[in-house]
Amino acid sequence: MDLTVIGITPEAEAVYRYFLRHRGESVGSVPEALDMDPETVEEAIETLDRLAMLDLTDRHRVVATEPRIAIERLVEQRLEELNAEIRRVFSARDAISSFLEDKREGDRSSTVLDIERVESGARVRQRLDDLAFFSYKETLCLHPGGPFTEVMIESALPLDIRSLRRGLSLREIFHPQALEDPRMVDYLKELVRLGAEIRITDQPMDRMLMYDRSVAVVPIDPKAHSAGALLVREPGLISQLVIYFESLWKNATDLLTYLSPPAEEPALSEMEQRVLAVMATADKDEIAARELDISVRTYRRYVADLMARLGAANRFQAALRAKEENWI
């Protein structure tokens, strides 16, 4: 229990407790009773007097203020101070609009492309942390290389979890080489479980991070990541990078589907192909069976099986779907 938050020092607390237990005692009795030097006792008495926790009308007969009244009053005073401080802190946000107006004025007068070059590795990491922290909508990522190291995974996972728990959309595209390490696979599966969207593609791509479709981070030299990064904010370039990302995303495969692809439907046998062809031309089962040189019962069994595989409600619909699937 820390009473210093409401202005009561440990020495003042000890003196206050003494007078609660020894109502009417004098100030002079405190040093010996609490084994304190007189100067410390006097400082505590002054603190308690200032906080209205002691009645010192008669220093030879001191009365402590009732605790519920004294402590509750101090708590209320402290809360008022804190609320006032919070209001002052929140009011600082009002400066954002004026600063943004200055920035817009600078943007209007600037003829230089809004691209920032950051060469220090430490500065790049700091800028990425800041961008991730202040993003509010989505993060788009392209990872053309192999798996992350264990250290990279341990540092990236908490940041990813923080973004996802804040409700941000996280979409990432990886190269199949990234799945060569089981730890990397577990990391990506965990992101998917938490709500991220991960896709895999073997298409050539360049490394990129994009935050809220307003700033993109790309390597200065794609072949030498240690050279630093470019922070791109130019709207025209951002728009092209978004189109580039979306084209890769459209043709990429969902992570879980890539790891566990659905079983392929077995190819049609020669007889099944013949049955499908006859279904589209024969008026009666007997005619179709005779043409195929099989019994009517066997023909109908083939038809029922093909309709089930095509998800068709009738033979006409089965024939249409078979054509859509290029089975006939």
* Residue in 228, 230, 219 with CA at minimum distance from that of residue 114: 230
pLDDT at residue 113, rounded to an integer: 66
One-letter amino acid at 124 equals V
Q: Give pLDDT, residue 120.
A: 75
Angle value at C-alpha 156, between 150 and 162, nearest 5 degrees: 145
In angstroms, how far is CA 44 from the centroid of its own chain? 50
Q: Specify the CATH superfamily of domain 115-259.
A: Endonuclease Chain A (3.30.870.10)
pLDDT at site 110: 58
* CA gap 278, 291 in Å, rounded: 8
In SS3 terms, the chain reads as CCHHHHCCCHHHHHHHHHHHHCCCCCHHHHHHHHCCCHHHHHHHHHHHHHCCCEECCCCCCCEECCHHHHHHHHHHHHHHHHHHHHHHHHHCCHHHHHHHHHHHHHHHHCCCCCEEEECCHHHHHHHHHHHHHHCCCEEEEEECCCCCCHHHHHHHHHHHHHHHHCCCEEEEEECHHHHHCHHHHHHHHHHHHHCCEEEECCCCCCCEEEECCCEEEEECCCCCHHHCEEEECCHHHHHHHHHHHHHHHHHCEEHHHHHCCCCCCCCCCHHHHHHHHHHCCCCCHHHHHHHHCCCHHHHHHHHHHHHHHHCCCCHHHHHHHHHHCCCC
Q: Which of 127, 221, 141 minimizes the C-alpha distance to 174?
A: 141
Contact of 31 with 38, CB cutoff 8 Å: yes
Q: Where in the chain is the domain with CATH 1.10.10.10?
A: 3-87, 270-324
pLDDT digits (tens, 9 = 90+) for 8-47: 999 999 999 998 998 888 888 988 888 999 999 899 999 9
pLDDT at site 217: 92
Backbone conformation region of residue 184, classed left if phi is above 0, alpha if psi is from -120 to 50, else beta: alpha
Tokens of 144: 């053309």
Q: Which residues of the chain have pLDDT under 70?
A: 107-113, 225, 263-267, 328
Domain 270-324 falls in which CATH fold? Arc Repressor Mutant, subunit A (1.10.10)
Looking at the structure, give the CATH architecture of the domain made up of residues 3-87.
Answer: Orthogonal Bundle (1.10)
Residue with tokens 């084994």: 35
Rg of the chain over Cα atoms, rounded to whole angstroms, equals 38
- Tens-place pLDDT, residues 222-250: 777 677 889 999 888 999 999 999 999 99
